[in-house]
Amino acid sequence: MNTPTPSPSPPLLSIFGLEKKYGHRTLLQIDLLTIAAASAYVLTGINGAGKSTLLRILCGLESATIQQAFFGGKPILFSHYPRVLREAIGYVHQQPAMFASSVADNIAYGLNQRNLPADEVEERVEEAMQWAGVGHLGDRQSATLSGGEKQRVALARAKILRPKLLLLDEPTANLDGAAREQVIALIPTLIEEGSSVIMVCHDRDLIGLPDVQRLKLRDGRLERH
């Protein structure tokens, strides 16, 4: 008796015919973007190529014309950015904004918005702080943090929501030395826990991480390398 071959899992996200215009200027014209589950991608391109704009489209902060899109194999409409994407996609800006409160409160914000029980929030915040290496900063006010500390707090604030796709815009651009290395070390653990990650970056160490797939924007088109 032949054992049936299991059908392959659909991509996490598939987008067909994405176009972004500013007036008469076409910034992006992407025939197909596919993102696999639990996978890492770096997105490169010259300044002004539209890298950050693409991330903002994916997380619903900017609009674009999209012919067809699927999330987990199910059709979705970006024209009315769906709740399933709001809950599944996280975005971390290269200069993350912090709420004027403690580190722990910053990280807990998203969970509190979902009205989770206080004891569960406390437990998950503690886990996220330990993961990001900021467990000793829980009571610190966000305004006193260094750039590297803010970046790790922002990553913890995104990770705690267990995103299926995490978008990182130049996560190490403003860091050097130990702070940069600490952020780089966190990326593979996100993949191991099942998240996909798209990173806009020019950092050779990030690009060189194991199993990272390379995407490049050139003249509005998306190339795979």
State pLDDT tens for residues 152-211. 999 999 999 999 999 999 999 888 889 899 999 999 999 999 999 999 998 899 988 889
Whole-number pLDDT of residue 176: 82
- Cβ atoms < 10 Å from Cβ of 173: 15
Percent of all residues in the chain with a pLDDT value above 70, rounded to a whole number: 96
Tell me the C-alpha distance between 128 and 139, whole Å. Answer: 14
Whole-number pLDDT of residue 106: 96
Whole-number pLDDT of residue 225: 82
Whole-number pLDDT of residue 1: 47
Domains of the chain (ranges plus CATH)? 39-62+84-224 (3.40.50.300)
CA dihedral 34, 89, 120, 131 (to 10 degrees): 70
Instruction: Please write down the HEC assignment for all residues of the chain.
Output: CCCCCCCCCCCCEEEEEEEEEECCEEEEEEEEEEECCCCEEEEECCCCCCHHHHHHHHCCCCCCEEEEEEECCEEECHHHCCHHHHHHEEEECCCCCCCCCEHHHHHHHHHHHCCCCHHHHHHHHHHHHHHHCCHHHCCCEHHHCCHHHHHHHHHHHHHCCCCCEEEEECCCCCCCHHHHHHHHHHHHHHHHCCCEEEEECCCHHHHCCCCEEEEEEECCEEEEC
Region 120-143: mean pLDDT is: 95
Asked if 156 contacts 175 with a C-beta cutoff of 8 angstroms, the reply is no
Region 132-156: mean pLDDT is: 94
In tens, the pLDDT along 10-56 reads: 999 999 999 999 999 999 999 999 999 999 999 999 999 999 999 99
